[in-house]
């Protein structure tokens, strides 16, 4: 019987099938941990005298609470003593349990969803979890990857399994030719605006079509990263030569690479496989996208007008954003720009921002935060940091930074931040801060003009 990609990977990890009264026991290949959601889990383990079942299948980094500015004397200004304690606690726990950890001294330290792929730890056909919603990022490699809560982090540490029910499957086909300047971020914001912020609830998504086949791994990760913003359990893209070339030579790449690739080539949806739901989108309909509300489903093309609020919640979102129905979104005054997060902090993203910022000057505070120390080094080797700083932007150390603001990188109440992150919830970037989600290109263009700007217009002006 023809199977979907999700069904194939799901079947490889079932320890005990689900029944009417019990979820499946699902094996986890890779557990990524960081300083925020793991301390309580390790405490729970200690209280029950349990050990970590597979330290060799667990990888740790520090990212959420880490400062992105280093003092001139080399010290690290943590925003609070608690933030520093979280980091120290993680380092102590992972040392005690023999878990590979990418701390300050590691060239791979950085955002957990940047680090895993960068090390080659993220591979096709795997099951991957982490105590962070945007674990869906790893689905870009043809893995089933999803975020879990703190209690589940403890469960996975102790058992290397999780209890879960099988989600339904949804294929999202995007075929055709993307217009000039249309990015993976625009594609996923368009998809979420189309299917709705809850449109993926209960589903595992598979992104299908030539648009995804033509994307780099960086672009595929941007797309899968935001699957959770449509409510989906996870998002996947079938692995192909682009995937295999990306993993080859990385630290955790399989030793017998040819054999691994042969197996991975079988991880494709069979002809005739049936999805529970299918959505079809024409690539030609996608334009640069921005959000105007307080969830990622409230997105429009940048040359469009803010729609009429259909519900009280929509009106409350517009009131919070200080935006009005019927107004053009382009030209709205911005106060800050943030380029970073596990959605858009990779080399492709930084190169795209640099291409726009080269020879330009930013007119509002612009913070650029690479996803990992390695990406920072690679960007610097290419001279991207020099372009950013010459333009007046701030070039920071790797970390989550203004995606969530846990490290103190936040806006001032009332600020409108054009941000390449994944969530525009009220207050996510600081109390009263208004977040407009966008691509690195749109963020860079807005940094130059000080208003929400279609990046294609910067080219025109030049």
CB of 262 to ligand SF4, least distance (A): 33
Name which of 134 and 287 has its Cβ closer to ligand SF4.
134
Report residue 45: phi and psi, to 5°.
-60, -45
Rounded Cα distance between 228 and 234, Å, is: 6
CA distances from residue 413 to 176, 357, 428, 435 in whole angstroms, order as listed: 42, 27, 11, 11
- Of the candidates 411, 420, 434, 405, the residue with the CA atom closest to the CA atom of residue 370: 420
Rounded Cα distance between 417 and 450, Å, is: 10
CB of 403 to ligand SF4, least distance (A): 3
Task: Write the burial class of residue 258 (CB in 10 Å: 0-12 exposed, 13-18 middle, 19+ buried).
Answer: exposed
Q: Which residues 63-122 are close enough to bind ligand SF4 by CB under 6 A?
A: 63-64, 111-113
> Using CB under 6 A as the criterion, what x/- string covers residues 413-442 for binding ligand SF4?
---------x--------------------
CB of 147 to ligand SF4, least distance (A): 9
Q: Which of 13, 31, 134, 456 binds ligand SF4 (CB under 6 A)?
A: 134
Name which of 113 and 434 has its Cβ closer to ligand SF4.
113
Rounded Cα distance between 435 and 414, Å, is: 10
CB of 111 to ligand SF4, least distance (A): 5
CB of 341 to ligand SF4, least distance (A): 4
Q: Give the contacts of 137 (CB within 8 A, at least 6 positions apart).
A: 113, 117, 145, 221, 224, 225, 342
Rounded Cα distance between 88 and 103, Å, is: 10
How many residues sit in the footprint of ligand SF4 (CB under 6 A)? 13
Query: Is 349 near ligand SF4 (CB under 6 A)?
Result: no
- Of the candidates 352, 393, 344, the residue with the CA atom closest to the CA atom of residue 370: 344
Name which of 5 and 188 has its Cβ closer to ligand SF4.
188
Other beta carbons less than 10 A from residue 49's beta carbon: 6
Name which of 290 and 403 has its Cβ closer to ligand SF4.
403
Query: Is 342 near ligand SF4 (CB under 6 A)?
Result: yes
Rounded Cα distance between 444 and 169, Å, is: 36
Q: Is the dihedral of CA 137, 291, 410, 149 positive or negative?
A: negative
Name which of 112 and 350 has its Cβ closer to ligand SF4.
112
Name which of 300 and 400 has its Cβ closer to ligand SF4.
400
Query: Is 291 near ligand SF4 (CB under 6 A)?
Result: no
Report residue 243: phi and psi, to 5°.
-65, -50
Name which of 291 and 341 has its Cβ closer to ligand SF4.
341
Q: Are 400 and 253 in contact (CB under 8 A)?
A: no
Q: Which residues 359-418 are close enough to bind ligand SF4 by CB under 6 A?
A: 400, 403-404
CB of 243 to ligand SF4, least distance (A): 21
Rounded Cα distance between 223 and 188, Å, is: 5
CB of 57 to ligand SF4, least distance (A): 20
CB of 153 to ligand SF4, least distance (A): 14
Name which of 49 and 82 has its Cβ closer to ligand SF4.
82
CA distances from residue 20 to 166, 243, 315 in whole angstroms, order as listed: 12, 37, 41
Q: How many residues does this entry show for the chain?
A: 462
Name which of 160 and 343 has its Cβ closer to ligand SF4.
343
Q: Which of 132, 385, 397, 409 binds ligand SF4 (CB under 6 A)?
A: 132
CB of 228 to ligand SF4, least distance (A): 9
CB of 63 to ligand SF4, least distance (A): 6
- Residues in contact with ligand SF4 by the rule CB under 6 A: 63-64, 111-113, 132, 134, 341-342, 400, 403-404, 422
């Amino acid at each position: 019987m023809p199977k979907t990609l999700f069904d194939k990977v799901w079947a490889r990890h079932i320890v005990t099938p689900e029944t009417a009264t019990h979820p499946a026991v699902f094996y986890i290949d890779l557990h990524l941990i960081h300083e925020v959601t793991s301390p309580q889990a390790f405490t729970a383990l200690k209280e029950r005298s349990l050990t970590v079942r597979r330290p060799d299948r667990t990888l740790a980094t520090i990212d959420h609470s880490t400062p992105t500015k280093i003092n001139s004397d080399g010290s690290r200004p943590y925003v609070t003593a608690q933030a520093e304690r979280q980091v120290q606690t993680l380092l102590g726990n992972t040392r005690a349990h023999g878990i590979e950890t990418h701390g300050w001294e590691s060239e791979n330290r950085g955002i957990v969803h940047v680090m895993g792929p960068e090390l080659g730890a993220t591979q096709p056909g795997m099951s991957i979890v982490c105590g962070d919603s945007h674990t869906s990022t790893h689905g870009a490699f043809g893995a089933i990857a999803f975020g879990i809560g703190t209690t589940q982090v403890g469960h996975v540490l102790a058992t290397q399994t999780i209890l879960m029910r099988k989600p339904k499957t949804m294929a999202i086909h995007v075929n055709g030719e993307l217009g000039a300047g249309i990015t993976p971020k625009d594609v996923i914001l368009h998809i979420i605006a189309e299917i709705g912020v809850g449109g993926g609830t209960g589903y595992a998504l598979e992104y299908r079509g030539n648009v995804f086949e033509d994307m780099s791994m960086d672009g595929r990760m941007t797309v899968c990263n935001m699957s959770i913003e449509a409510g989906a359990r996870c998002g996947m893209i079938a692995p192909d030569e682009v995937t295999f070339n990306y993993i080859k030579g990385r630290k955790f790449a399989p030793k017998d690479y040819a054999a691994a690739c042969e197996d991975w080539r079988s991880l494709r949806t069979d002809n005739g496989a049936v999805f529970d739901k299918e959505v079809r989108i024409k690539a030609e309909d996608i334009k640069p996208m921005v959000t105007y509300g307080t969830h990622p489903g409230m997105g429009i093309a940048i040359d469009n007008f803010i729609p009429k609020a259909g519900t009280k919640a929509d009106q409350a979102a517009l009131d919070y954003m200080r935006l009005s129905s019927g107004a053009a979104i382009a030209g709205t005054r911005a106060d800050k720009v943030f380029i970073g997060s596990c959605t858009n902090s990779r080399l492709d993203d930084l190169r795209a921002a640099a291409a726009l910022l080269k020879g330009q000057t930013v007119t509002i505070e612009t913070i650029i935060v690479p996803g990992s120390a390695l990406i920072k080094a690679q960007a610097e080797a290419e001279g991207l940091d020099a372009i950013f700083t010459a333009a007046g932007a701030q070039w920071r150390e790797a970390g989550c930074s203004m995606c969530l603001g846990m490290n103190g990188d936040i806006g001032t109440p009332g600020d409108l931040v054009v941000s390449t992150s994944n969530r525009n919830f009220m207050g996510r970037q600081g109390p009263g801060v208004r977040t407009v989600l966008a691509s690195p290109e749109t963020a860079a263009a807005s940094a130059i003009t000080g208003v929400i700007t279609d990046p294609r217009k910067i080219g025109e002006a030049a």
